[in-house]
Every structure is written in structure tokens, then in C-alpha cells.
Structure 1
Amino acid sequence: MDLLYARAQMGLSLAFHIVFAAAGIALPLLMVLSDLKARRTGDADYAVLSRKLAKGTAILFAVGAVSGTVLSFELGLLWPAFMGTYGEVIGLPFALEGTAFFTEAVFLGIYLYGRERIPAGLHLFSGVMVALSGAASAFFVTLVNVFMNDPSGFTLTAGGPVNVDPVAAMFSPGWRHQTAHTLLACYQASAFAMAGIHAFVLLRHPGAAFHRKALSIALPLACLSALLQPLVGHQSAEHVARAQPLKLAAAEGLFQTQRGAGLSIGGLPDMETGTMRYALEIPKGLSLMAFMDPNAEVKGLDAFPRDEWPPVPKVHVAFQVMVGTGGAMALLAVVTLFLRWRRKAWPEDRRVLWGWLLCGPLGVVAMEAGWLVTEWGRQPWIIRGVMRTGEAVTPVPNLAVPFWTFTLVYLFLGAMVVFLMVRQVAGTLPGHEPPAGEVAHEH
């Protein structure tokens, strides 16, 4: 039971933190794009948007810093065997992530409080550094996860890891695909959320010029990331098929090793009968997707010991949610870009706005589902093939107490963030515009 609570607490902390981490990566980029548009056009609305995004970044950065600090302590307190044994192997990206975090904090302070106090070019440079530092922070953290799924950079002996190469461990196989997949997910989730918020306002207030301009900043990043993500995700899936075939079998609900394996869409794995129920199958689709060969052999769950199987139904459902929501966002991006090409302007009709409103939360849903596939798909290992999760957990009892305590803390922080962000958006609604003096000051 304590292992369950330890996993639940770590999962809750990561699920909460990943939302704010994603915003801390993407909002600074949107902030800089708004700033550039304001400087190029002289339009005060873009300057106001840049300032609003900067304030939003600061709010989310603060909450992300708190939840990230909690995660750092949890790694050592909940999983002492993991950090104590393999800290020297994978400590380098943790240290680099800390450097990126502090760099982001410094330049965010300069951007927030130096707008009228430092030269315009230096102020813009500070915003660019916030965006780059946020991306670097996510890059280094993702490298740790890549190592946990595909460990390298050491020789395993009965006494622990020897011949440690921290650089090789940091850049474990598949790091390019996984880091690109993660960064795109952060940009996609944040841009879709921003587009959904402004689409909602425009549906209620069609004449709100500020929100039309804000939408024009969010849509390019949302469309670009939505179209690139399936391509990068496919490359990542090809790597998983070769390096982590058990995870692929669980994600697809493939129980039997076979050539010309079909691709299951939907469905639920039946663990008793070893079959997929209610699924639509594309013949030879999985072999083609994984190995670019319709007759390639794909390993099923039967090729692995039963005690090493991950929770197959959970992994499969999470994978289907990730792919389904990603496909919906890519389709909306194609439609939007087609209309943009036809009309020479970003579409503003109600049907398109409703599409962006409905798809606004899907980026976060896809990101959380993808993270669950990665984490559930690795079980029962904390380091795949090297250390089991049960071997790494703390022997300290009564882990239910910190779990429920942190659950309440996260609920409180989440409510406060929603309240503060709603106030930020409400200040731009028709009838709530900033005073004329503030608008002039934005110029």
C-alpha cells in the first residue's frame, strides 16, 4: 500500500507540475512574439498582450517553481534507492536544469521590471532568454526520463553502477525524438489553451479587437506544433518499437507476437482472454507504422514474462487518448491553415471559433495522456530493466498522510491560479479596457 501511495503522490505531483512547466516554456515565446509585433506595428494592443502574457508567465512560473521544488524533495524522500544508487549516473541533467531554471528566473525579473528602465533591445533580449531558458529546463528534465526508459552510460554490476559516463547517460538512445516530442507538446498545449480562451471571448464579443489580435498570435504556434507533433511522435514510436517493444505491445494491446500485425483503433484489452474487444483494426497497420514494412514481425506481450507487463488497459487507453486528441488538433490546424490561405487572414467565423474553443483543452489532455503512456508503460521498473519501482521506494511507513496533504495543497494552488488567470483575461474584456493613460504608457 505504501508503494501505491508513493507512486500516486509522485504521479499527482508530476501531473500538476507538467501543466505549469509547459506554460513556463510556451508563454515566454508567445510573449516575445507579441512584443515583436508591438514594436513592428506600434499597435498598443500587442503591447498590452505582451504585458499580460508576462504577468501570466510570472504567476505560472511561481507555482511551477513551488511544485518543481516539491518534486525534487520527493525524488529523494520517496525513492532513496534510485537517487542514492543512480544519482551519480544521471545527476548532470538535474544540475543543468537547475542552472536553466535560475537563468529563466533572472531574465524574467529583468523583463517584468525593466520594460521602461533598460534599452528596448536589451528588454527584448531578456524575453528571448526567458523563452530559451524555459525550453532548456524542459530539455534537461526530459533527458532524465529518457534515461529511465532506456538507460545507458554505465556498466551494471552486483555492487551497483560502474564505469559511469554522465554524458552518455544524459544522452541515452532516443533522446532527440523524446525531447522534441516533449517540447512540441508544451508549445501545443499552451498555444491551444490560449487560442481556446480568446475564441471563447470572441464568440461572446465578436467585436473585441484585442482578442482577435491575441488569437492571431496563438494560432500560428498552435497550428505549427499540431502538424509537427504527429511526425515527431511517429519517429518516437519507431524508436519505442525497436528499443522498448513491451511498451509498444501494451500501448497497442498486442497480446500475440505476429507478422503483419494490425493496428487497433479504440477497443479495450481483455486480460483474461488475451484479446482486444470493440477495436477497429487496420490490417498490417502496426507493422507498417513501427517498421515501415507491412509484413514485419511485432513482438506481443507473450514474448515477455508476465511479471514485467505494465498495466496494459491503462497504457492502451492513455495511448488512444493521446493519438485521438492529437489527430483532432492536427485536423483543426489543417482546416484553419486552409482557410487562412484562402482568405489571406486568420478565420474568425463562429464555426472555426467553436472548433478552437472545443479543442482548447485537448493539448493539455494529450500531454497528460502521453506522460501516462511513458510512465505506466515503463512499470514495473523505475529504471527499465535495471531497478524495479518496488526496490526504489522508501521504507518509511504511513505515506498516505503526505499524499492527502499534498493533494489539498495542489487543489488550493490550482484554484488560486485559475482565479488569478481569470482576472488577467477579464481585464481585457469589452468594458474592462485599461485606462487611456495605461494604453499610452504601453506604447
Structure 2
Amino acid sequence: MTDLLAARSQMAVSLAFHIVFAAIGIGLPALMLVSEALWLRTGRDVYLRLTRAWSRGLAVLFAVGAVSGTVLSFELGLLWPRFMEVAGPLVGMPFSLEGLAFFTEAIFLGIYLYGWKRVSRGAHFAAGVVVALSGAASALFVLSVNGWMNSPTGFIPGDPGSAPVIDPVAAMTNPFWIANTVHMLIAAYTATAFGAAAVHAWRILKGADTALHHAGLRIALVVGAVMALLQPLSGDVTARLVAHEQPAKLAAMEAHFETGPCAPLRIGGWPDEATGTVRFDLEIPCGLSLLVGHSPDAVVTGLNDIPADERPPVLPVHIAFQVMVGIGTLLAAMGVWTGVRLVRRLPLHRPLWFLRLAVVAGPLAFVAIQAGWVVTEVGRQPWIIYGVMRTEDAVTPMPGLVVPFTAFTLLYVFLSWVVVVLMRRIARMEDAEDAEWSGGSGDSGAAGEAGA
């Protein structure tokens, strides 16, 4: 393994691990606020117990996310010093603001976790609001950096021996900033909601047919349905922005080789870069032109018009994009089904096939997030700063990078094991408390959901 491949692999593993906890850190506080608001409005204890159950899980996941996020920040400087030399003055401000948002989130999360009997109900709910907003703000500032890497703005390279002219505000407000942030926030809310729904659906299928799990399933599916139906709108805006700012990435996403109007939209398919063809795909005539330019005559740039050494690897980008869109379509369909069941006042834990599908949809939602980041990061290659600096030119000259790559991979495996052990213990504790409460109140099963 070359040092460049080891450095890229280490960043990929770190990001893939961290993004799961980052997404939950953004999405779970929103679910908790919905549940706590229902408790404050109705006074039903099931919503209080559900909120506290979710908050205990968040405490563990937030801690692990903080560790993996810290590792990522160090890796930027240690593995990519040339990148930080150029980008540091431009991305330092959003990184500093992200640190402020993170510390704010941590402080108010402490108040939220330990303030149940120490502050008023209104103050406790307000602390939860700050936690949710701080998590979203963290994403906002981090994604401004990623947006700048995809569309660098706010600097003019100086002459040899002179410093470049920089504008950190212009760099932070790059073309991708808001679009990417909205897309990621919706993805985080969607994945977390369907992940929570999967847990509660699984427990219902295993016989824990209690009001707590029915309430959790209902809240999670409703939030997930709304977000899953909003995501295609965000995706449309983002895709048109990619077409304008990064035509090579869009061409790789769609496995589009020939420049011209009436570009087809491909569903599935296996691209062959050597021949410039795609096998086993379903083509919708003029579909890509309609999506990108809202006209069948819109011209879409193909890979054949992009220099070979500036093309991203087509196969992984195209497959990842198809996976992301396919899972997103499934979640949106589940959202429609959820809406229909709600309108008809039918229980969400029936029929059983939908409950089983909800169990599968939870992990798939996080797979979609991973696939989306593959599209974003691999689709930018060979650039670490699009059009400015190649990835191979930014890597550290230090040899032996396979050693830290192996060490950090083992660290993430260990942390994953710790998370599984702790979450199982929390689940057993919650189930024991729920069984004791349900046995005393009789608030269980379908009757519990009717009240939820």
C-alpha cells in the first residue's frame, strides 16, 4: 500500500465512522424534542420515558462522536500539511465557529441529561433546543469547509514569494455551502429517524409490545417520512449545482460519456471507462437534461470532453450514487405509506411486512449517507481543492503511513465494540424499566399506540 493510498484510506475510514455519530448527534436531539414536547402537552409518562431513553443513548453516541471528530481534525494537519498550508487561513474561521458550536452543544447536553429534576420543565426543553440547534450549526460550519474544497472561493494566488489575497467570509459562503448543509441535515434527520424506528420495530417484533415502543415507532416514522419526502427536492437543487460547478463529478455520478443535449438519465448500470459505455442500465431519454437544465435541449458535459487525468473514478461514484438514490426512493415510499396510514388512522405496526421493512430501512438509511459521502469525496478526485490542488500533492512526505492507518482502524473497531456493549446494556435497562412500568399501568400494545 502506497503512502498516498494509506492516507486516503485513513481519512475514508475515519469519516465513514464519524459520520454515523455526527448524523445521530444532529438527528436524535430533534426526535427528543418532539417526544418531550408531546410530554409537556399531554402529560403522558410514556413520552417522558421515551425522551429519557433516547437521551441516554445520545450520551454514549455523542461521546464517541467527539472522539472520532477530534481524530479527524488532527488527521487534516498530520496527513495533509500542504492542504492546511494553503487552506488554513481560509477554513480556520468556520472550523473555529464549529468548535464554538460543539462546546455549546456539549454544555447544554450536560444540562439536558442531568437537569431533569434540577431546572424547570421550560428551561429543560430550552436546553434541548440549544442542543439541537448547536448540532445543526456544527454541520453548517463543517460543510462550509467541504463546500470550499469543492468550489474554492475567496482567494487569489499571489505571485511567487508573495502571500495570496484571501477573504475568509467569501470562502465560507461558497456556492456549495447552503445546498450541501441542507442536504446533509435532511439526511441526518432521515437516517436517525429511520434508525430509531428500526430499533422500536425490532423490539415490537421480538415481543416488547409496549406503549413506549409504539410511541417511539410512531414519532420516528412520522419525522422520517417528512424528511424522506423533502430530500428529493434538496437533491435536485444540489445536483444542478454540481452540474454547474463540477461537471466531471456529475458525469461520473450519471456515467455520462458523450456531451450533448437530450442526455439520458441512467438507472443502474455498470460503466466501462475503457470503452465509454454502460451495461445493464435502464435509460430514460432526455431525463438528465430535464433534471439539470429543465429542458430536453440542455447540454450536459460528458466524461469524454474532460481530460483523462482530471476525471474521477467513474465506477465507485456511479454505483454509490445509484445506491444513495435507490435507498432514498425506498425511504420516500415508506414515507408515503406512513402518511396514508396516518390519514386513515390505521396503526403503524401493521401489517407485519412493513414492520420488518422498517427494521431493514434503519441500517439502509445510514448506508445512503455513506454512499452520499463517497459521491462527494471520490467524485472530487483527483483534487483535494477542486481545480487548485491535487490530492497527491497535499499528502505528507512522512513514510510508513500504513502504520497509523492500521492503528486507527483498530481503534474504530474497538470503539464500535464499546458502543455495541453500552447500547445493549442501556436497551436491557430500558426494557426492564418499561416492563415494570407497563405491568403496573397496563398501558401496552395497540392500546398504547392508540393513545400515542
Measured against the shorter chain, the TM-score band is: over 0.9
Structure 1 position 254, deviation (Å):
0.9
- Measured at CA, do residues 49 and 431 of structure 1 come closer, stay the same or move farther in structure 2, by a change above 3 Å? closer
Aligned residue runs from structure 1 range 213-292, under 5 A: 213-292=215-294
- Measured at CA, do residues 161 and 54 of structure 1 come closer, stay the same or move farther in structure 2, by a change above 3 Å? farther
Correspondent of 1:406 among 386, 405, 408: 408
CA displacement, residues 32-87 of structure 1 (integer Å, 9 cap, x when unaligned)? 22111122222222111111111111111100110011111100000001111210
Could you tell me which residue of structure 2 aligns to residue 92 of structure 1? 93
Separation in structure 2 between the aligned mates of residue 312 and residue 85 of structure 1, nearest angstrom: 28
Q: Does 1:71 pair with 2:98?
A: no
CA displacement, residues 90-138 of structure 1 (integer Å, 9 cap, x when unaligned)? 1111000000000000001111111101122111111111111011111
Separation in structure 1 between the aligned mates of residue 86 and residue 373 of structure 2, nearest angstrom: 25
Could you tell me which residue of structure 1 aligns to residue 204 of structure 2? 202
| AA at the equivalent of 2:417 | A
- Measured at CA, do residues 161 and 414 of structure 1 come closer, stay the same or move farther in structure 2, by a change above 3 Å? farther
Q: Does 1:15 pair with 2:16?
A: yes
Match of 1:298, SS state, is coil
Could you tell me which residue of structure 2 aligns to residue 146 of structure 1? 147
Q: TM-score, normalised by structure 2?
A: 0.94
Checking the alignment, whether the CA contact within 8 Å between 1:2 and 1:400 is kept in structure 2 is yes
Match of 1:343, SS state, is coil
Separation in structure 2 between the aligned mates of residue 105 and residue 206 of structure 1, nearest angstrom: 33
CA displacement, residues 225-263 of structure 1 (integer Å, 9 cap, x when unaligned)? 100001100110011111111100011111111211111
CA displacement, residues 401-437 of structure 1 (integer Å, 9 cap, x when unaligned)? 000001111001011112212222233437863569x
Separation in structure 2 between the aligned mates of residue 395 and residue 431 of structure 1, nearest angstrom: 55
Separation in structure 2 between the aligned mates of residue 37 and residue 431 of structure 1, nearest angstrom: 20
Correspondent of 2:422 among 401, 414, 420: 420
Checking the alignment, whether the CA contact within 8 Å between 2:214 and 2:349 is kept in structure 1 is no
Checking the alignment, whether the CA contact within 8 Å between 2:158 and 2:165 is kept in structure 1 is no
Match of 2:270, SS state, is strand
Separation in structure 1 between the aligned mates of residue 272 and residue 163 of structure 2, nearest angstrom: 39
Match of 1:255, SS state, is coil
Match of 2:289, SS state, is helix
Separation in structure 2 between the aligned mates of residue 113 and residue 432 of structure 1, nearest angstrom: 21
Separation in structure 1 between the aligned mates of residue 379 and residue 51 of structure 2, nearest angstrom: 40
How many residue pairs match? The answer is: 439
Checking the alignment, whether the CA contact within 8 Å between 1:2 and 1:399 is kept in structure 2 is yes
Could you tell me which residue of structure 2 aligns to residue 114 of structure 1? 115
Q: TM-score, normalised by structure 1?
A: 0.96
My pick for the range that moved more, 344-353 or 149-158, is 344-353
Could you tell me which residue of structure 1 aligns to residue 40 of structure 2? 39
Could you tell me which residue of structure 2 aligns to residue 375 of structure 1? 377
Could you tell me which residue of structure 2 aligns to residue 318 of structure 1? 320
Runs of 4+ in 1 over 6 A off after TM superposition: none
Separation in structure 1 between the aligned mates of residue 182 and residue 436 of structure 2, nearest angstrom: 39
Structure 1 position 346, deviation (Å):
4.1
Could you tell me which residue of structure 1 aligns to residue 386 of structure 2? 384
Separation in structure 2 between the aligned mates of residue 359 and residue 396 of structure 1, nearest angstrom: 42
CA displacement, residues 327-365 of structure 1 (integer Å, 9 cap, x when unaligned)? 011011111111111126545331221221121212101
Separation in structure 2 between the aligned mates of residue 227 and residue 385 of structure 1, nearest angstrom: 34
Match of 1:429, SS state, is helix
Structure 1 position 158, deviation (Å):
4.8
Aligned residue runs from structure 1 range 321-332, under 5 A: 321-332=323-334
Q: Does 1:193 pair with 2:195?
A: yes
Structure 1 unmatched ranges of 5 or more: none
Checking the alignment, whether the CA contact within 8 Å between 1:149 and 1:384 is kept in structure 2 is yes
Separation in structure 2 between the aligned mates of residue 295 and residue 258 of structure 1, nearest angstrom: 8
My pick for the range that moved more, 310-319 or 48-57, is 48-57
Checking the alignment, whether the CA contact within 8 Å between 1:208 and 1:430 is kept in structure 2 is no
Could you tell me which residue of structure 2 aligns to residue 176 of structure 1? 178
CA displacement, residues 367-409 of structure 1 (integer Å, 9 cap, x when unaligned)? 1000000000000000000011011100000000000001111
Separation in structure 1 between the aligned mates of residue 62 and residue 6 of structure 2, nearest angstrom: 27
Match of 1:195, SS state, is helix
Separation in structure 2 between the aligned mates of residue 106 and residue 348 of structure 1, nearest angstrom: 41
- Measured at CA, do residues 431 and 134 of structure 1 come closer, stay the same or move farther in structure 2, by a change above 3 Å? closer
My pick for the range that moved more, 15-24 or 110-119, is 110-119
Checking the alignment, whether the CA contact within 8 Å between 2:81 and 2:394 is kept in structure 1 is yes
Structure 2 unmatched ranges of 5 or more: 442-452
Q: Does 1:395 pair with 2:390?
A: no
Match of 2:281, SS state, is strand
Separation in structure 2 between the aligned mates of residue 174 and residue 194 of structure 1, nearest angstrom: 30
Match of 1:269, SS state, is strand
Aligned residue runs from structure 1 range 352-371, under 5 A: 352-371=354-373
Checking the alignment, whether the CA contact within 8 Å between 1:301 and 1:309 is kept in structure 2 is yes
Checking the alignment, whether the CA contact within 8 Å between 1:191 and 1:219 is kept in structure 2 is yes
Checking the alignment, whether the CA contact within 8 Å between 2:4 and 2:392 is kept in structure 1 is yes
Checking the alignment, whether the CA contact within 8 Å between 2:200 and 2:214 is kept in structure 1 is yes
- Measured at CA, do residues 199 and 347 of structure 1 come closer, stay the same or move farther in structure 2, by a change above 3 Å? closer
Match of 2:431, SS state, is coil
| AA at the equivalent of 1:265 | I
Checking the alignment, whether the CA contact within 8 Å between 1:85 and 1:161 is kept in structure 2 is no
Could you tell me which residue of structure 1 aligns to residue 82 of structure 2? 81
| AA at the equivalent of 1:125 | A
CA-atom RMSD in angstroms: 1.8
Could you tell me which residue of structure 1 aligns to residue 3 of structure 2? 2
